[in-house]
A and B are shown apart, each in its own frame.
Chain A
């Protein structure tokens, strides 16, 4: 550990008072006394014995106020001896002529009193400044501590302040929850093995202080402090240390609580997501199943008693719901595979028009009653995709358009080339996407306002589409409204390959 040039009695935090510190204080005192002796000797030689002691008085006042009480006392004794030796007859001897005993006594007492008073005043001022500095550093530390959010930040901040203010090395561990872990350690503390220590007990043996950081809630941490052993710590410095540690304990406790809360919130959010997922799964799987089962059991029971039209309707319903179920299960499987990364991507060069047409064909029954406007201009271009996955991706976008627009509206479908990219777009005339939902519309299990109102929608389709499109180096975006404050356009852009290359 680094030693500092500080008076032993000055184990106070912060910078040494007035830049004068041991041994400089004594050196300065000696210098001033020598100077005073020299000036006195000169004045004795020049103007006689009158006024010979004034330089000493001035020097002692200066020493007292600059260097403190102890150097002043030593200086007073030195000044007396120098005065006696150099200036009082017989010179160069410590013996005193009987006539001068009274004057010498007076000088000695005066020197002592001046030195002591100046020293005491200076010491008091110094203590006051120290107290102020301690308060200021405590205030600064508490301000910074309350700004730290995590336990680690708090511990590092505390360690920094302890080191800079108390000039000690520090290591701080977490509360003992079946073992402590190191939160922060100053550089010097590493020398004591604090950084490597899994068990703080192994290093605390060498430490000057080991403090449990405690609050009303209990143990929140442990701090080990290594102070310079050669210095006897003052009560005030110790009080400061304890106060800062207490502040640190409170801040640490608060940070731990905050972490607990955010952890709990995270768990709750995850739980919420799980519940949403479960209810979404349950709803989306169960609704078609319920419809199929109800229709099938009706058919089984009434069969010929149904009118032909009713029977046809029930059979169509069963078919449509089974298809819906199939789409949902396919999406669910794709999602799981996309997420776990097991999805085996088998890209082949495919005509984007063909991909879009096949998706539309797949959705033919679902789109009954809609007008479909096709704008297929992407000739001579290929996209490199997995045919099954891209069809699923496009079906999801088309289904989304069908779900969210009136049954007799128009759906515009586009397959074109722009800036070397194949563009596949689906535009509907529905209510559109609310601005605040745009950023979340591709999130898994997200269901928009319109979707929720209808009670349908898996909240999976668009997420799967995004996953698939991105897996093949493409991207997807949504614009809404498209016209007259209505409609939404979903645009998929995929890298385009020239058809020629495909034939090579």
Chain B
């Protein structure tokens, strides 16, 4: 994280949870702003440009998805969505509209903070425009389009590389089937089965045990997530 404390905007209409998030995130070294409505949130983002936005999808005045759309028109600020478990479609839509990640309610504070951290780091990487990635023994050089696992060069087909690099660029964050289809096929195909087949092939080449993947994790019904060094599902 950067030198000064990163600033997070928490948007939720539930007072109690807002209070808890405020206290906790502050103690963990983030500067916290809060908003209870979409209108207030949009205003705050424009005024004080936070480093990351934690957005509840069920807002009283405006659909959370509309907030994401409005924000994505002018800012790349990472958005982490808070949503209930049964709102799976909402979640996918939010991600496809440009949200960076999601946390399911109810959540452990540790998990939430990990997601916020990942989002911040991702934004940082994007700003600096890095040409390579390293984590969990995996190294990817974007300029030379090479992939190494434990120092061993791995040969991937073009499509496999396209999909992997998409996951790597969003390392630690969820990538939807739709995003992967766009990365591999330019959106010409909409059958998620293709993604499953190719991810299966990549796993064959990268995972120790492809049937119990530890590098490319499945987000059921949504997409995949590349595991990073500081992220573990047990949090």
Contacts and interface: CB of A to CB of B under 8 A. Distances in A.
Interface of A: 278-279, 282-283, 286-295, 297-298, 301-302, 305-306, 310, 313-314, 317, 320-321, 452-456
B202 interface: no
Q: How large is the interface on B (under 10, 10 to 19, 20 to 34, 35 or more residues)?
A: 20 to 34
Given A283-B84, A454-B13, A298 B24 contact: yes
B27 interface: yes
Contact of B105 (A279, A290, A295, A321): A290
A333 to B, nearest CB: 21
Interface string B35-65: 0000000000000000000000011110000
A320 B58 contact: no
Contact of B23 (A278, A289, A298, A320): A298
A297 B235 CA distance: 11
A159 to B, nearest CB: 51
Given A293-B106, A294-B106, A301-B110, A283 B23 contact: no
A395 to B, nearest CB: 19
A294 B21 contact: yes
A456 B61 CA distance: 13
Interface string B152-175: 000000000000000000000000
Interface in B6-21: 13-14, 16-17, 19-21
A306 B23 contact: yes
Contacts, number: 79
A320 B106 CA distance: 17
B28 interface: yes
A306 B23 CA distance: 8
Given A452-B60, A454-B13, A291 B20 contact: yes
Contact of B27 (A282, A289, A294, A302): A302
Given A297-B110, A298-B24, A313-B23, A291 B17 contact: yes
A314 B14 contact: no
A306 to B, nearest CB: 6
Contact of A298 (B59, B60, B61, B109): B109
B20 A295 contact: yes
B27 A305 contact: yes
Contacts of B58: 283, 455
Given A286-B85, A298-B109, A301-B109, 15 more contacts: A282-B85, A283-B58, A286-B106, A288-B16, A290-B107, A291-B20, A294-B17, A294-B21, A294-B24, A297-B108, A297-B109, A301-B110, A302-B24, A302-B28, A314-B24
Contacts of B112: 294
SS class of chain A's interface: helix, strand, loop or mixed?
Answer: helix
21 contacts: A279-B86, A282-B85, A283-B84, A286-B84, A287-B16, A293-B107, A294-B17, A294-B20, A294-B21, A294-B106, A298-B20, A301-B109, A302-B24, A313-B19, A314-B24, A453-B60, A453-B61, A455-B13, A455-B14, A455-B59, A455-B60
Q: Which of A279, A298, A306, A313 has the most CB of B within 10 A?
A: A298
Nearest 9 pairs of A and B residues by beta carbon: A290-B106, A298-B24, A293-B106, A455-B13, A290-B105, A297-B109, A291-B17, A295-B20, A297-B108
Contacts of B84: 282-283, 286
A237 B69 CA distance: 70
A456 B60 CA distance: 10
B13 to A, nearest CB: 4
Contact of A314 (B20, B105, B110): B20
Contacts of B27: 298, 302, 305-306, 310
A320 B20 CA distance: 13
A310 B23 contact: yes
Contact of B19 (A288, A306, A317, A455): A317
B89 to A, nearest CB: 12
Given A282-B86, A293-B108, A317 B60 contact: no
